[in-house]
Structure 1
């Protein structure tokens, strides 16, 4: 399918990456203690930024695809990158079934990286799609601008 502007490319890229990301996260188990309403990694969404330039009045309005971003709960990014740090100690207060306060020591936290975001990007083919389509549209625009400049010089 030929795309006429970068806004259409951005929408298709959102769909491609979103589908691949949902496929990767669908097998994840829900957190045991997740409170209803707290964000889940499975609720990740993909958003694109498209910047308009020009004016509608004189027919120069065009859209330029700027970026593609993944929006998800921060623990998804931590799980993707892994972590190797020391958690600080402190105290906690538990309220159920009865109120009690207890202390805990600082300890090493090691979580191996599970690069599901990179895997989703690779499996979606979004990088190749965006680079080829945006390159095609922008090169056509450059050739058209050069042709218009040459024609204006000949007049």
Structure 2
């Protein structure tokens, strides 16, 4: 089921420059929007439901999955624009390594904040949402700028 969803979202998000009528998001907007959707998943964790305590976690997982489905295939397809064919494996390896390090550090810092008794958990979730929105906006601007630059200066 997840693979089918990834294929749908990845297909919907790519090649906006080639589509007519703007029915597709494009790489830059797809990655930026995906980061924002992933960040909005954290906001659901601040909601408490007594009748179904797991509901916020389930909604968080859905939003995080949808955002990941937009970001990761596009990011993986974007990596070849930085490297030659001979070094493509190294760049994918570096991408995976850096992603793992950031995931580890993010989990350590977030768990440290969550274990603090001085901070309200809602503030932490809001902070993660804002960081994700800033990252999504920065990613959008970077990819958009990169695509304009490569369109003006073809190799």
Smaller-chain TM-score bracket: under 0.3
The higher radius of gyration belongs to: 1
Q: TM-score, normalised by structure 1?
A: 0.28
Which one has a larger percent helix, Structure 1 or Structure 2? Answer: 2
Q: TM-score, normalised by structure 2?
A: 0.28
Structure of higher RCO (CA pairs closer than 8 Å, 6+ residues apart):
2
Which one has a larger percent strand, Structure 1 or Structure 2? Answer: 1
